[in-house]
Amino acid sequence: MRDRRYGGMRSPVAALLAAALVAVGATPAYAADDTERPTTPGPITVVAVDTTWVELTWAASTDNVGVVRYPVSARFEDSGAMYSTDTTSIRITGLRPSRTYTFGVSAVDAAGNSSLSNPTLRLTMPPGDDQPPSAPGQPMAYDVAATLVWLRWAPSVENVALDRYEVFRVNADGTLTRVSEVYQYPPGRNSTQISGLTPTTTYTFVVQARDEVGHLSPLSEPVTVTTLPPPPSCAVRSVVRQWSDGFVAHLAVTNTGSTAVDGWTMTWRFWAAQQLHGLWGAEVVDRLNNSFLRVRNASYNAVIPPGGTVSLGIVATGTQLPEEVTLNGGLCVAADE
């Protein structure tokens, strides 16, 4: 690099100072004028590998000022981590057996110019898992509707890394049909929704765990559940008295179908910030996704005959009034006042 301050050549003192700054990771004063990126590092090679760590090396980049560090990426599927080293090798720990990682390296100079990444290296870690997961807990059915059901279960115990849960429907002849897969990367969920079911039909489900090596757990104990009848048709009339941050609402929900409703749940719009101060004609169940309030019948009004009406009263804060009212999953039409 030429420097006009010293007759076209950099002085020995300036050269020594620049080298010292690069060595400690500082940016020389003239680095701001440096726009040339380093060359691409050489291909990555594996020096040593075990089930949970790998040591990598690559040929050094060259640069007109000097390379100060090598960012190193390690990716598994759609997630990853970044590392950095000021040498041409690195040891990465905390990896998982049998996973396939993609590694990449680039170079950065004192001015912050980054090289192109070198060709990535895909590496499958050696297997280190010789044990299958334990059986998941027996599934429990909840939020049963006419065409869907939610299942949850106690998680399996796995010695290395769990890949997914597979949920199966048990057919009449004892064969299994997979109806859901619940992946565990990132980990956490041990529940799923099974949809596309037939109303008023009995189903049996089991759950199996699979680890990242492919070992299968024993099947869980089965759960048997009967879906609800098709949702009734209904109409809702509402009378609301509202003030700046609250309201009193009276709902009259009519069964407009030809079959009696025997036991019911009802939902309507209800924001997370709203507070319920009073409710009559029903009992609170929960809040769905912090957007709907769900209630169920009281002991004295569980049956709504065809043409019959059930009345509810609500006192609450907020400006979101009861809208999108459902009866056993069926959306009620707004009746004429």
> pLDDT tens for residues 4-23?
333 333 444 344 444 444 44
**Can you say how many angstroms the Cα of residue 243 is from the centroid of all Cα atoms in its chain?**
40
CA distance 210 to 172: 25
4 within some domain: no
Q: What is the pLDDT of residues 26-54, one digit of tens each?
A: 445 455 688 999 999 999 999 999 989 99
* Cα 69–Cα 97–Cα 75 angle in degrees, nearest 5: 40
Q: How many CB atoms lie within 10 A of CB 206?
A: 22
Q: Of 226, 248, 280, which closes a domain?
A: 226
**CA-wise closest residue to 65 among 106, 88, 33:** 33
Range of the domain at 120: 36-124
With cut-offs at 50, 70 and 90, classify the pLDDT of residue 131.
confident
**How far, CA to CA in Å, does 143 sit from each of 1, 138, 175, 193?**
72, 17, 26, 9
Q: What is the pLDDT of residues 269-305, one digit of tens each?
A: 999 999 999 999 999 999 988 899 999 999 999 999 9
Contact 61, 71 (CB under 8 A): no
Q: What is the pLDDT of residues 319-332, one digit of tens each?
A: 999 999 999 989 99
Q: Sort residue 64 into left (φ over 0), alpha (ψ -120 to 50) or beta.
A: alpha
Q: Of 80, 99, 124, which closes a domain?
A: 124
Q: What is the pLDDT of residues 145-200, one digit of tens each?
A: 889 999 999 999 988 888 899 999 999 999 999 999 999 976 678 999 999 999 99
28 within some domain: no
**Can you say how many angstroms the Cα of residue 169 is from the centroid of all Cα atoms in its chain?**
24
Residue 221 pLDDT exceeds 50 = yes
Q: What is the pLDDT of residues 48-81, one digit of tens each?
A: 999 899 999 999 999 998 999 999 999 988 889 9
167 within some domain: yes
Residue 264 pLDDT exceeds 80 = yes
17 within some domain: no
Instruction: For residues 188 and 246, state if they share a domain.
Output: no
Total domains in the chain come to: 3
